[in-house]
């Protein structure tokens, strides 16, 4: 029998599988997609996420990426501030399709069996606990795969988390992301000549992330609370860039390279990160607005904690104690950052607070530098 069956071969699923396989656990990962696959993302691995990859000897999954040494933050009234990470600290920028493909390859090299093109239909129950998964294979046939434990790493819209009653979309905030790639985007002033700066443009009821990626492509992601505009994602991207006084000149000659895609609502709340026989990891364990670029750190560290809990459960089977350990570990690891991100989201929702924060950052740039370091998971 498989020791651990993982639903989802994204960053959280593959990362958990690698940790488990290195401990001698028999792991099998399932995903409905075939890799490499496109995925809406900010395409940035922040310094905190890079530190986790480096610590496990996986930094090479970002090979060919661009350095990110800090952030440019702007506010709609024209305020522009630059904050840099400490010397020797940096994130990386690369397309998610490249990162996901590299992580799948790394997992396979560790002996993890990965099945692509397999749809997970739901949990398989036995004696009051999940004892495997019901799946539909590439041949269209449905069958059950038994396992001692299941890790649900199937994203913010996790079928498993919802069927188990563990997650639901948050009532507030309600935001949607729309993303696309451009070529021929002009530089962002003298700071951009050096390269290595991510961008976050805070606007009323929205924010815009801009990230140069390898090959001359620029990722643009607009996050908005205006649901009515989602009927035409292409219009959201075009209108946002054309009407923004701090961005329109840079994108005047830029070429849109793909049809914009949307995702949301973004915020997902979880009542618990476990159920009998199941551990949640990555966005399946809770998803928030990715405005601080820390989604991948949540994915990697959350997967690492889920894998450590699985090892505890497989070793001695004290399920309730191990579930409490995971709950406490997640709150200890992520509690401060959850509060920090909620505060930033509240700031974006308040034009008065935004103007006050922009003025404060201009007068005392050290405040912004501190915020950027915390957002990048460099330290508190």
Q: What is the pLDDT of residue 222?
A: 92
Give the residue carrying structure tokens 């492509």.
217
The helix/strand/coil state of 263 is strand
CA distances from 275 to 34, 149, 262, 271 (A): 28, 10, 30, 10
Q: What angle do CA 99, 327, 30 make, to 5 degrees?
A: 40
pLDDT band of 145, cuts 50, 70, 90: very high
d(CA 241, CA 224): 13
Provide mean pLDDT across the span 52-65.
96
pLDDT in tens, 213-246: 999 999 999 988 877 777 788 889 999 999 999 9
CA distances from 164 to 267, 274, 376 (A): 18, 9, 33
Domains in the chain, ordered, with CATH? 2-43+95-170+267-343 (3.50.50.60), 46-94+175-264+350-380 (3.50.50.60)
β-pairing, 278-280 vs 142-152, is parallel
The helix/strand/coil state of 103 is helix
pTM score above 0.75: yes
The helix/strand/coil state of 107 is helix
Q: Give 70: exposed, middle or buried? Use CB within 10 Å, 0-12, 13-18, 19+.
A: buried
CA 204 to chain centroid, in Å, comes to 23
Closest among 132, 135, 107, 93 to 35, alpha carbons compared: 107
Look at 75 and 93; give whichever has higher pLDDT: 93
Omega cis (within 30) before 302: no
pLDDT band of 270, cuts 50, 70, 90: confident
pLDDT band of 193, cuts 50, 70, 90: very low
Residue 30 parent element (H or E): strand 27-31
Mean pLDDT taken over the chain: 88
pLDDT band of 374, cuts 50, 70, 90: confident
Residue 331: CB partners within 8 Å, gap ≥ 6? none
d(CA 312, CA 297): 22
Q: How many Cβ atoms sit within 10 Å of the Cβ of residue 164?
A: 21
pLDDT of residue 117 exceeding 50: yes
């Amino acid at each position: 029998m498989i020791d651990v069956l993982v639903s989802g071969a994204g960053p959280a699923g593959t990362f958990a599988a690698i940790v488990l396989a290195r401990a001698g656990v028999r792991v099998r990962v399932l995903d409905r997609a075939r890799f490499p696959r496109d995925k809406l993302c900010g395409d940035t691995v922040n310094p905190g996420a890079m530190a986790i990859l480096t610590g496990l000897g996986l930094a090479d999954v970002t090979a060919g990426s661009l350095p990110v040494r800090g952030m440019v933050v702007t506010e709609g009234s024209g305020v522009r501030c630059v904050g840099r990470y400490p010397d020797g600290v940096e994130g990386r920028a690369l397309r998610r399709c490249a990162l996901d493909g590299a992580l799948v390859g790394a997992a396979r090299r560790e002996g993890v069996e990965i099945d692509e093109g397999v749809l997970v239909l739901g949990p398989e129950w036995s004696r009051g606990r999940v004892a495997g998964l019901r799946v539909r294979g590439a041949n269209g046939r449905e069958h059950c795969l038994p396992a001692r434990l299941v890790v649900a790493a199937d994203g913010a819209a996790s079928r498993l988390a919802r069927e188990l009653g563990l997650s639901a979309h948050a009532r507030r905030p309600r935001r949607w992301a729309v993303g696309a790639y451009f070529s021929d985007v002009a530089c962002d002033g003298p700071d951009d000549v050096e390269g290595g700066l991510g961008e976050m443009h805070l606007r009323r009821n929205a924010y815009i992330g801009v990230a140069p990626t390898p090959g001359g492509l620029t990722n643009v992601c607009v996050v908005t609370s205006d649901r009515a505009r989602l009927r035409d994602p292409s219009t959201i991207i075009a209108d946002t860039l054309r009407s923004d006084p701090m961005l329109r000149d840079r994108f005047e000659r830029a070429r849109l390279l793909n049809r914009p895609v949307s995702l949301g609502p973004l915020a997902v709340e979880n009542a618990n990160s476990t159920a009998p026989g199941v551990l949640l990891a990555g966005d399946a364990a809770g998803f928030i607005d990715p405005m601080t670029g820390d989604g991948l750190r949540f994915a990697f560290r959350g997967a690492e904690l889920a894998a450590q809990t699985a090892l505890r459960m497989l070793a001695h089977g004290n399920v309730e104690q191990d579930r409490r350990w995971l709950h406490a570990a997640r709150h200890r690891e992520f509690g401060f950052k959850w509060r920090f991100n909620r505060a930033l989201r509240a700031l974006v929702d308040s034009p008065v607070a935004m103007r006050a924060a922009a003025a404060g950052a201009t007068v005392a740039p050290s405040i912004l530098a501190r915020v950027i370091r915390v957002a990048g998971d460099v330290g508190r």
